[in-house]
Amino acid sequence: MVKNVAMKGAVIALLIALALLILLCFTSKVYSTSGTLDFQLHDTTFVLSYSTVIIFILLFLGTFFSIGGIIGTHFKNTLFWVLLIVFFSIDIYFIASLLPR
């Protein structure tokens, strides 16, 4: 298994993120159409292209990975801090670009 404490925290956080994504898939209805994925959660439907979903999942997993690394090192590892800042910046930009204007 993983010997490094930072990587243990990062891997645990990554597994938590995967569990959250799987839970989201089970609690919502997912429809696949030509070129899009439709997520219906309660009374709201989100229509996203395949590439947008892939980018969202990668950013979500990367953010959880960096948070787990920071917690695993007791907030001392600068690499995970840099990763967290980069992922949060990209997350905010990505979500803001999806909002209607």
pLDDT band at 41 (very low <50, low <70, confident <90, very high): confident
Task: Find out whether 14 and 64 touch, Cβ atoms under 8 Å.
Answer: yes
pLDDT band at 3 (very low <50, low <70, confident <90, very high): low
47-63 tens-digit pLDDT? 999 999 999 999 999 99
Rounded mean pLDDT of 36-50? 90
3-state secondary structure the chain: CCCCHHHHHHHHHHHHHHHHHHHHHHHCEEEECCCEEEEEECCEEEEEEHHHHHHHHHHHHHHHHHHHHHHHCCCCCHHHHHHHHHHHHHHHHHHHHHCCC
Q: What integer pLDDT is reported at residue 92 of this predicted model?
A: 93
89 vs 44: CA distance, rounded Å: 26
67-98 tens-digit pLDDT? 999 998 888 889 999 999 999 999 999 988 88
Average pLDDT, the chain: 89
Q: Domain residue spans in the chain?
A: 5-18+33-98
| Lookup: tokens for 63 | 């953010």
